[in-house]
Structure 1
Amino acid sequence: MITGANKGIGLETAKQMAELGYYVYIGSRDKQKGMKAVELLKKTGSNNVECIEIDITVIESVKRARMELDSKLEALDILINNAGISGDQPQKFSTGNVEILRKIFNTNFFGPVQTTYEMLPLLEKSKNPVIINVSSEVGSLAIHASAGKDPNLEVWGAYGSSKTALNAFTVMLNNELEDTPFRINSVTPGYTATDLNDHQGTKTVEEGARPIVKVATESDGFTTGKFYGEQGNVPW
């Protein structure tokens, strides 16, 4: 199950997972856009895909998505919390707008948290359950602390802090479930050209999805409760 999978990195992640043989549920807030994504993947030869309507900011929608999955499968092996927004500007904490911050956190933090809560019973039925929280380097406190005053980082203060919170969720949930088979990690795709950044990123969606798929599907070399990127461990 991949949230926000009707376009961008989410769609490419779905494509790569399907090509590996996984049956992929494409989570989409807009059912029609989700169906178009399914049709697109089927045209490329991936028939093992299906759309699930889910708005991660609306708990009733998340519950409906969970009930739909309950009716379709016995266990969920992998949940990829990919859906997110960059948010409006300004995002500097000295001049920003608290309502912008609330909206970003509602999607980028509370959305993945409540989606995970709902999907946990299905994941627990899997022999090797995996949760991937799609994060970003701008959520790294270590990178911010070492960068000092960096206008390129400051402008994404609200977005970055929402990813910091998501990383905290990764660590704390992992600690709670340390005596279980769960593997729970944050993964950054890197600066990828998508709608999120008006396609200004330097990586393609194929490149951006690659570390997500790798950490989600390969246990060798990847432990649990970590923050990974294309080059391996990313500092918290």
Structure 2
Amino acid sequence: MTGKTVLITGGNKSIGFETARQLGRSGYRIWLGCRDAARGQAAVSQLLAEGLDVRLLEIDVTRDDSVRAAAETVRAADGKLDVLINNAGVLGATPEAAHEQSVDDIRAIYETNVLGPIRVTQAFRPLLKAAGRSNVVMVSSGLGSLGWLSDPHNQFYGVNALGYNSSKSALNAVTVSMAKSLAADGIAVNAADPGYTATDFNGHTGYRTVEQAAAGVAWLASQDASGPTGGFYFEQETVPW
């Protein structure tokens, strides 16, 4: 057992759930973050049945009061947090032409995908600092890589979902900024690209499994003091910003 704790937002299904399973099998105590208590408890029960140390944490990353309450729950129970995985995310409306997607839809995407990770990271910073050496993982996407999106030969070039893609590009920028800001606290911050994974997001059309996707997230979550910070990774390889 590692004796370490990890919070995974949006942890009740898909990549978040599988990341919880993989880290739980490695000995982490899991805080499974979820907006919906019933869905969250069902996921927790499944992982408990597998013998993992997991607890439900109700958290809506779009609400200040919910995030503050979640941080207080973890503080009262553990007094620290070794790993924060900002996994919760939304796709938004069915991708439309960039000049047609509504600002309201884009704003809603940013509230979860960009402001959510900022809000949660800021609220949990004292607990991450208290751990002595901790990791923050932003679950981003290859669709946030400006290098890949501008390369006609890249698989993602034709996916022009303004709201979602730009939210992940913004999250990558948040990663760099947070890595600089939190370095003095012993907190490493990195972004993970899970790849085109079969999830509800894409109607399970992705060619990668959740097991493969979660492995890269778990790898970053498990880095020690010699590990990277301020980077963007897919399969342990650097992704262009």
For the aligned pair, the TM-score class normalised by the smaller chain equals over 0.9
Query: Match for residue 91 of structure 2?
Result: 86
Query: Match for residue 228 of structure 1?
Result: 233
Query: Match for residue 2 of structure 1?
Result: 8
Separation (CA, whole Å) in 1 of partners of 2:225 and 2:48: 30
Match status 1:36 vs 2:45: no
Match status 1:19 vs 2:8: no
Asked if the contact 2:82–2:133 (Cα under 8 Å) also holds between the matched residues in 1, the reply is: yes
1:57-68 matched pairs, under 5 angstroms: 57-68=62-73
Separation (CA, whole Å) in 2 of partners of 1:229 and 1:41: 26
Structure 1: runs of 5 or more not aligned: none
Structure 2: runs of 5 or more not aligned: 1-6
Asked if the contact 1:192–1:208 (Cα under 8 Å) also holds between the matched residues in 2, the reply is: yes
- Structural RMSD (CA): 1.7
Q: Which amino acid aligns with 2:237?
A: G
Query: Match for residue 3 of structure 2?
Result: none
Bigger Cα displacement from structure 2, 162-171 vs 93-102:
93-102
Bigger Cα displacement from structure 2, 128-137 vs 179-188:
179-188
Q: Which amino acid aligns with 1:117?
A: Q
1:72-221 matched pairs, under 5 angstroms: 72-147=77-152, 152-154=158-160, 156-219=161-224
Runs of 4+ in 1 over 3 A off after TM superposition: 148-152, 219-222
Scaled by the length of structure 2, what TM-score is found? 0.92
Scaled by the length of structure 1, what TM-score is found? 0.94
Q: Kindly tell me: are residues 215 and 151 of structure 1, through their superposed partners in 2, closer, same or farther at Cα, counting changes over 3 Å?
A: closer
Q: Which amino acid aligns with 2:240?
A: P
Q: Which amino acid aligns with 2:105?
A: I
Where 1:56 maps in the other structure, the secondary structure is coil
Q: Which amino acid aligns with 1:177?
A: L
Separation (CA, whole Å) in 1 of partners of 2:63 and 2:27: 31
Q: Which amino acid aligns with 2:180?
A: N
Query: Match for residue 75 of structure 2?
Result: 70
Q: What whole-Å deviation, never above 9, does each CA across 1:5-51 have from its counterpart, x for those lacking one?
A: 001100000000100000000000001111110111122222x0000
Separation (CA, whole Å) in 1 of partners of 2:180 and 2:104: 32
Q: Which amino acid aligns with 1:74?
A: G
Separation (CA, whole Å) in 2 of partners of 1:55 and 1:11: 16
Q: What whole-Å deviation, never above 9, does each CA across 1:157-199 have from its counterpart, x for those lacking one?
A: 2101000010000001111223332111000111111111111
Q: Kindly tell me: are residues 119 and 56 of structure 1, through their superposed partners in 2, closer, same or farther at Cα, counting changes over 3 Å?
A: same
Q: What whole-Å deviation, never above 9, does each CA across 1:33-74 have from its counterpart, x for those lacking one?
A: 11110111122222x000000010111111111111111012
Q: Kindly tell me: are residues 106 and 121 of structure 1, through their superposed partners in 2, closer, same or farther at Cα, counting changes over 3 Å?
A: same
Q: Kindly tell me: are residues 146 and 222 of structure 1, through their superposed partners in 2, closer, same or farther at Cα, counting changes over 3 Å?
A: farther
